[in-house]
Structure 1
Amino acid sequence: MGFLETGAKLEKEEKYVVNKYALLIGTETFNDPAISNLGGVLKDVEKFSTILRDSELSSFEVTSLTNPLLIDARRAISDVCIKAMKDDIVFFYYSGKGVLGADKSFYLLFTDSEYKFQDATCMESEFVLSQFRKSECETFIIVIDTCHSGAFFNNNRGLPKSLVALTAGDENQMAMETEEGGVFTNTIIKGLKSDYIDANRDGKITFSELFDYITQQQSKSTESSYEGSPKKWEWNVDKDLVLFDSPRSVFISYQRQQSDLVEKISQSLIKSGISTFVDTKKIRTGDIWKELLERSIKNARAFIIVLDKEILNSEVADWELETAHKHGVPILPLAVEKVTIPALFQKMYGHYNRMDFDIDKYEYSITTVIEHIKALRVRQPEEVAEDKIADGTR
């Protein structure tokens, strides 16, 4: 007893599903009159929550605390660290007030914090790290948007097994805020909503790609009073950590004489929540353009080809269209002028519905395009294979 008979099959071991937990804390109002209130912090939390819950980008289980008491914040941190297992991921975000103690320790402030009694009523960052160290979880992501945020790791008594962190600045720098939230947080959110952040076009956003994007954008900031420069922190990370999936863009194939129209279409799509890929913006100096274009098309949500007389003679556009077809990307031909479609083109791609895009009725035309894109689904691999057999491409 206790042994399997010869030839008996072991049942397959169930694969562990990695859980991703996010704890988002934002504090903008304080009971102590000695602590000034903030504006836009709760918007920071709401925007981050939306991004982290997005099933296409990250699918985190999100817990949000807004203007919590100190005890509630401590309990929430302990709770997420208790339930997270070894292979899980914990994302910790705080937006609000951060202050330095006399010994350079860093404190997070909450609604009931009192400036005069920091040790008793504020949360030392070491408490957060102590809970991380006790947790079975081995991967932590930390984002801190406060003044003096670079002091988060001061006077720590040890770090968890593995972590990456982003702070709005170093321990001596202020963090800029607007009515729409922190400049640092808004930069991150803007990047995660676009696919420009995905430098190598592999459909994944890594820690390094996110930090590179933030530093580039912060250096262009028009906020004259912004003094901070974002900092990144890594501990015991043996490879670039993948944080999120990149949002899937609509790839737009066009000829240069349509640049102004394509820019207008692109901006309209972005305003409606649809990310776009336009190669004049996304292909950078030194990039291996064909490899990047193929990755971009393969990962695209949809492929728009702007049909005019010139594009039908373009070898590059023909290759882009063929690549989209090969990878099963939904194709939307937009005819912006009267064109005669060649027989071969009609044979290969005639089953895609062509849309006449009336420039004189732009709002109507772009609304139709947006509705069409939002209704699209990506074809399954077996459907792509059937098309290849039918049109003789395999």
Structure 2
Amino acid sequence: MPGGRHALLVATGTYDNQALSRLRSPAGDALALAEVLEDPRIGDFEVDRVVDRPHHEVTRAVERFFLDRRRDDLLLLHLSCHGLKNDNGELHFATADTDRRLLASTSVPARFVQRQMSQCRARSIVLLLDCCYSGAFLTGGKGDTTVHVRDELAGHGRVVLTATNRTEYAWEGERVTELGPEPSRFTGALIEGLRSGEADRDRDGLIGVQELYDYVYEELRDSGVRQRPQMWAELEHRVVVARSVLPALPHGWDREAGPGAGSGAGPAAGEPAQAPRPRVPTPGRERSRLPPTALLPVTEALAALPCMEDARGRQQFATVLGEFLALRVDLRGVRQREDVVAIARAALNQEGGENALLSTVALLEGQRAAAEVGDSLRP
């Protein structure tokens, strides 16, 4: 992990203004997250915390955090607090002295954070927002539900993970304002994914931001909580948030299937589970030799699939396709067309890629969709 690794955790749970309810989780979340980020086996970050401080101290800490950084530094900023919107729908982060009637002068505007990020020299910045309405960080004008990545988050190597979309609450336990020691759902899932290593979805020993987001999204979805984490990114390279405490699997091995998988025979009672087996190409399959002109109809057919509509769906498709092909299919997750072309190329340039592509479509979208994509493969 080259370059400096720096994290700033801003947590505000106690407020002077009685109109803002106390939050039980931010301070504890910041402490627990700092532990895993500072752990040299996991995050290996230098971590600073700002807890329950007034707005001028928070803005000063944020500006200083992004100042005088090197291009190869990795910066991680975590904000846990009330998220408030003004009459124009603009997001503000509440601090200990925030007055809801005076947001412009007593809070931290989201646009202030955006400016510090855009002016920073570091190529890799990860922003984690655990607050209500956090998805509004990257939206356009009032009432706009479309994310404009280039308009609102200029530059490369920027990633934003939010606890909610632009209209949802961030939940603590079973109620938004219930007091107690439990961590927030979003940050709690982040911490657990890093601490346990379970966020290392491909078991290569490293946890990238896309893997971390996928883990958190699925944890919150499975818990039944009514919030949907969001992710926006514009990356030139993979951003590694942490190492995994789980042992890495050899490249090309299937983490789910073990020796004898598919035969109906499992390990005997009391025996430890055996290591997964590597994917082996089926004998006799030839490398795809479709002409370059085949890329266009395949791309058009794939782009029409519902799973290609958002970055998370495209990443899930790429992950499944990669399992069939025993390779990593990397996507930038910004433009749909760019991601779909990357998926099509990955499949058509590999041995047995056409079969793997159709199997992935059938698994995620059904046999009828697979047949339609199959038609595009025919000359």
TM-score by length of 1: 0.59
| 2:167 counterpart residue number | 172
Q: 1:241 pairs with 239, 242, 255, which one?
A: 239
Q: 1:73 pairs with 47, 55, 58, which one?
A: 58
The 1-side partners of 2:248 and 2:20 are apart by 46
| 1:54 counterpart residue number | 39
What's the CA shift for 1:290?
1.6
What's the CA shift for 1:134?
1.9
| 2:226 counterpart residue number | 227
Answering whether residue 151 of structure 2 is matched by residue 161 of structure 1, we say no
Which residue type is aligned with residue 228 of structure 1? Q
**1:26/1:66 contact within 8 Å kept:** yes
**1:207/1:242 contact within 8 Å kept:** yes
**1:129/1:160 contact within 8 Å kept:** no
**2:124/2:239 contact within 8 Å kept:** no
| 1:130 counterpart residue number | 115
What's the CA shift for 1:241?
2.1
Identity %: 23
What's the CA shift for 1:17?
5.6
Query: Residue 99 of structure 1 aligns to a residue in which SS?
Result: strand
The 1-side partners of 2:15 and 2:31 are apart by 19
What's the CA shift for 1:159?
2.6
Q: Deviations over 1:59-98 (max 9, x none)?
A: 1111101101111111111111113211111100001100
Q: Deviations over 1:149-191 (max 9, x none)?
A: 1011235765343201110110101111133121111111111
The 2-side partners of 1:250 and 1:238 are apart by 24
| 1:100 counterpart residue number | 85
Which consecutive aligned stretches of 4+ in structure 1 deviate over 4 angstroms post-superposition? Answer: 155-158
Which residue type is aligned with residue 191 of structure 2? I
**1:204/1:244 contact within 8 Å kept:** yes
* Larger displacement relative to structure 2 (213-222 or 55-64): 213-222
| 2:331 counterpart residue number | none
Q: 1:291 pairs with 272, 275, 278, which one?
A: 278
Gaps of 5+ in 2: 141-150, 174-179, 250-257, 259-265, 280-379
**1:110/1:122 contact within 8 Å kept:** yes
Gaps of 5+ in 1: 1-15, 263-277, 284-288, 293-394
Cα pair distance change 1:105/1:250, threshold 3 Å = closer
Answering whether residue 102 of structure 2 is matched by residue 117 of structure 1, we say yes
The 1-side partners of 2:113 and 2:229 are apart by 21
**2:62/2:113 contact within 8 Å kept:** yes
Which residue type is aligned with residue 165 of structure 1? V
The 2-side partners of 1:19 and 1:240 are apart by 16
What's the CA shift for 1:248?
3.5
Bigger relative contact order, structure 1 or 2 (CA pairs below 8 A, ≥6 apart)? 2
Which residue type is aligned with residue 105 of structure 2? A
Which residue type is aligned with residue 268 of structure 2? R
The aligned runs of 1:143-158 (5 Å cut-off) are 143-155=128-140
The aligned runs of 1:268-283 (5 Å cut-off) are none
The 2-side partners of 1:27 and 1:291 are apart by 47
What's the CA shift for 1:51?
0.8
Cα pair distance change 1:119/1:44, threshold 3 Å = same
**1:195/1:249 contact within 8 Å kept:** no
Give RMSD over aligned pairs. 2.5
The aligned runs of 1:183-194 (5 Å cut-off) are 183-194=185-196
**1:133/1:161 contact within 8 Å kept:** no
Q: 1:210 pairs with 199, 209, 212, which one?
A: 212
Q: Deviations over 1:104-134 (max 9, x none)?
A: 1110000000011111111111101111222
What's the CA shift for 1:194?
1.6
Query: Residue 223 of structure 2 aligns to a residue in which SS?
Result: coil
The 2-side partners of 1:47 and 1:231 are apart by 22
Answering whether residue 271 of structure 2 is matched by residue 256 of structure 1, we say no
**2:204/2:248 contact within 8 Å kept:** no
TM-score by length of 2: 0.61
